[in-house]
Amino acid sequence: MSFPSVALGEIAEFIRGVTYKPTDLMDNFSEGSIVCMRTANVQKLLDETSLLSIPRGLVRNEVKILREGDLLVSTANSWNLVGKCCWVPSLNYLATPGGFIAALRGDKSKVDLRYLYHWFNSPDTQADARNCGRQTTNISNMDIGRCLALIVPLPPLPEQRRIAAILDKADALRAKRREAISRLDQLLQSVFLEMFGDPVTNSKGWPIGKISDLLESAKYGSSEKADLQGEVPILRMNNITYSGEMNLTDLKYISKDKAEEKYSVMPGDILFNRTNSKELVGKTAVYEGPTPMAYAGYLVRARTSDGHAPEYISAFMNSSYGKSTLQAMCKSIVGMANINAREFQGISIPIPPCELQQSFRSHVKAIRVRKCALELQSQKFDALFNSLQQRFISAAN
């Protein structure tokens, strides 16, 4: 069944954000202040962990006060992020959008606000919103007029509510899987602290040594140029996540004759990102396959000596103590930071008994098996949600 379509501007309006100077900033929730949302707050859900406040007097029109059901939309950002949106829930404080975002406010007499959210957040609409941007040097600015001309399929309100309810339920299933995965990550951190104590204080009283004391070798990777196609995949710094996981979704390749054994990585090898931005240098993960796989020059491949567990070293490096240690020691060179293999091996580390390290390794492997299963389920729920979104939003057209 097809339904009428209308321009977005017939059922909603954009409320532009307010601008302010750095000297306008106030303490959050202080008298006479109002929270000012920024692009950093526009995540999948509204991110309220990093709020700024400005004088209430800068908001000269009550229409700029955010309401439950508004959509916060990034209107000035990098091209791939312009148009990104999130739902504004019920807030227990006054808030307004800042200068690089706007509030998309639907007319509740014409459109269900959750339906509007699912439509605007759909992949097709997000692509259309990005195409409404005017590119400058590094920033894309959304053309509000062009965006308001986008066509919205508009079933009757009862049908909109039905569609929104189905999509909300499917989205809730996705959220539960993401939460379960997050809990496993927290469990891994808890197991580390329970078994080895806080590395800040070395509360278990382990002997202190150097990472080199646990290693057999530490080698730099290949400097060969990688291509989008080839015979052997090669790991680069973007294949290690900040939290210490391997991400193999964006691989490049080198020829087999250039993938020498000395540049190969095997399951159980530690990969250390020696050069990156100051915030990301030192990313560390344990590689678990597949093979063959090469690794690039911005990485260090470390192999543990007999009995020592690579998972222990990786967990130590990914602890808050490990991260702060890396931040303190990295050297910045024209926007990039570097920690070489010798410096990596020289990091001080508590050295618990090998038996305990191996026990921790078993815990890590068990948690990873469970996490892998949940991630597969999460991918299926994502596919289901995308299918439902495409079916209902497109079918309404």
Q: What is the pLDDT of residues 91-139, one digit of tens each?
A: 999 999 998 999 999 999 999 999 999 999 999 999 999 999 887 767 8
Q: Which phi and psi (to 5°) does residue 104 adopt? A: -95, 115
| 148 and 166 share one domain | no
Residue 243 falls within a domain, yes or no?
yes
Q: Is residue 265 part of a domain?
A: yes
- Domain identity same for 92 and 230: no
Q: Which neighbouring-strand residues pair with 219? A: 301
Q: What pLDDT digit, counting tens, does each position of 226-279 carry?
A: 888 888 999 999 999 999 999 998 899 998 777 788 899 999 999 999 999 988
Strands lying side by side in the sheet with 275-276? 275-276, 336-338, 331-333
Q: Is residue 127 part of a domain?
A: yes
CB atoms within 10 A of CB 85: 22
What pLDDT, on a 0 to 100 scale, did the predictor assign at position 310? 98
Assigned token pair, 182: 């997050």
Q: Which of 314, 330, 351 is the last residue of a domain?
A: 351
| Domain shared by 227 and 332, yes or no | yes
Low-confidence ranges of the chain (pLDDT < 50): none
Q: Single out the residue of 272, 294, 275 nearest to residue 283, CA to CA.
A: 272
CA atoms of 359 and 194, how far apart (whole Å) = 12
Task: Confirm if 116 and 105 have CB atoms less than 8 A apart.
Answer: no
Residues 140 and 10 in one domain: yes
Residues spanned by the domain of 303: 207-351
* CA–CA separation, 183 and 190 (whole Å): 10
The CATH number assigned to the domain holding 294 equals 3.90.220.20
Residues 281 and 397 in one domain: no
The SS3 assignment for 309 reads coil
What's the pTM value of the predicted model, to 2 decimals?
Answer: 0.75
Task: Give domain status of residue 202, yes or no.
Answer: no
Do 239 and 265 touch, CB atoms closer than 8 A? Answer: no
Is 94 part of any domain? yes
- Looking at the fold, whether 143 and 16 belong to one and the same domain comes out as yes
Instruction: Give the SS3 label for residue 331.
Output: strand
Distance between start and end Cα atoms, the chain: 8
Cα gap 33→52, rounded to integer Å:
10
Pair 275, 232: CB distance under 8 Å: no
The answer to whether residue 168 sits within a structural domain is yes
Same domain, 294 and 382: no
200 in a domain, yes or no? no
Whole-angstrom distance, CA of residue 206 vs CA of residue 325:
18
Same domain, 231 and 169: no
- Gap between the Cα atoms of 7 and 148, Å rounded: 7
Domain total of the chain: 3
What does the longest C-alpha to C-alpha distance in the chain come to? 73
What's the CA gap between 57 and 297, in Å, rounded? 54
Residue 109 identity (one-letter amino acid): S
Which two structure tokens, joined as six digits, stand for 341? 């293999």
Residues 343 and 372 placed together within one structural domain of the fold: no
**Total Cβ atoms within 10 A of residue 395:** 13
Both 141 and 217 in a single domain? no
Token pair belonging to 391: 């079916």
189 belongs to a structural domain: no
Considering the domain architecture, whether residues 256 and 375 belong to the same structural domain is answered as no
CA 110 to CA 291: how far, in whole Å? Answer: 56
Q: Are residues 287 and 340 in the same domain?
A: yes
* Structural domain ending residue among the three candidates 136, 154, 172: 154
Model pLDDT, residue 366: 96
